[in-house]
Amino acid sequence: MNNRKLIRDPVHGYLELNEFTVSLLDSPPVQRLRRIKQLGFSNLVYPGANHTRFEHSLGVMYLASLLAEKLDDEKMVDEIRAASLLHDVGHPPFSHVSEGLLKRFLGKKHEELTLAIKKTPVKDVLQAHGVRANKVIKHIVGESKVGVIHGDLDVDRMDYLVRDSYYTGVAYGLFDHLRLIKKMRFMGHEIVLEHEGIKAAESMLVSRFFMYPTVYFHHVSRIARKMYERAMKFCIVERDFDPYLLLSMDDSDVMVYLRHQEGFPGEIARMLDERRLYKRALYVGPERVDISWCQKQDPEKLEEEIAEMAGVDVDKVIVDIPPVERVRELEAKVITSEGVKKLENVSGIVNQLKAFEIENWKLGVYSPKEIVEVVGKASIKSFNVEKRKKQYRLDEVII
């Protein structure tokens, strides 16, 4: 027990770490996560949302350990523990806020950038404990058959839902994650859910359904995110900023860099610091625009088109076309009296949520307050939005 440590987590209570997990925790790539906010700019909406990827990684490790204990393979248990602590080391500053930059300029997602652990002290820690880095990486990126970290019902989502709910004060993310884990087991190396765990899985999906529009896709968070993205894109394209630097920078590093830039990126940094954000010139859902058409469009071309019609600088127009989120939980396997079936085939609630999921999607066009009206009118034309005289929904912005 001398080589074990206890860490007090506000969400899960006391977490016990063995010598192996402590060594990983003390490595520079994991310690860097203390300086990466879990929810990017969401603290502009929810002041308490200042928690980090470090805390989340600890929580995922705890839940992953509970689930992995059901495996009769100690070496794989160590791989999963390592993967749970390392799964977010590829995150750039402000977490998912910078991920669009990684995808555009490096062609990779943050999970894929965990390959970098082979070039860090983490590799030495893994080797010292007989754990292969390649095996750990497969668990992280979803190439392993054991979907503990990256699967249909994974502990990554379990932790971020309850943790983000705790720190934002939004109760929607709460569900009985411990019962869900208790009712999950392995058939071979594949995770399946016992029939008695269906209600807990349904509760998780309901939590996810409400947390996305309320927290993850809140319009203020989206606007701040897109303003930051625009400023960093400007620096990469116009000022030769090396996007690979984002993999070693933290939130403070990148904001200090932006604050010292002249012109547009420096002004964006000051606006974010002072919470002087762009406003919604257009903000509509699938009842007003064709989602499939929107998903095929190039936001930059639309920004140029809208700016030209409105007679404003293109930097003053931001088009935000969010992705349509895939609900992987629907594919989760459930043991029934008639054999193993998908969760969506045994739960009426899940089917209803699947039908309503698309309603959470919103198209946004953002601009400074003083030009919102003219940009909104141009946006309606660009997206062929039917103009209505009355507000259709309380969260809808129309011109």
Question: What are the start-end ranges of the H helices in 93-218?
Answer: 99-105, 121-128, 133-141, 155-168, 177-182, 198-211
pTM for the whole structure: 0.91
Q: Is the dihedral of CA 95, 324, 375, 103 positive or negative?
A: positive
Residue 312 to residues 224, 234, 305, 323, 375: CA-CA distances in angstroms?
20, 18, 10, 27, 8
The three-class DSSP label of residue 325 is: coil
pLDDT value of position 23? 94
Q: Is the dihedral of CA 21, 22, 26, 27 positive or negative?
A: negative
**Averaged pLDDT, groups of 10, the chain, 399 residues long:** 82 95 94 96 97 97 94 90 93 90 83 68 90 90 86 92 97 94 91 94 92 94 97 96 93 98 97 98 93 93 97 97 82 90 87 79 96 96 75 58
Q: Is the dihedral of CA 336, 337, 339, 342 positive or negative?
A: negative
Q: Are strands 13-17 and 318-320 parallel, antiparallel or unpaired?
A: unpaired
pLDDT value of position 344? 87
CA gap 395, 1 in Å, rounded: 54
pLDDT value of position 1? 45
pLDDT value of position 210? 92
**Tokens read off for 127:** 């080797």
Write b or e for each residue in 303-341: b if 16 or more Cβ atoms lie within 10 A of its Cβ, otherwise e: bebbbebbebeebbbbbbbbeeeebebbebbbbeeeeee
CA gap 39, 41 in Å, rounded: 6
pLDDT value of position 113? 63
CA gap 380, 372 in Å, rounded: 12
Q: Are strands 339-342 and 184-187 parallel, antiparallel or unpaired?
A: unpaired
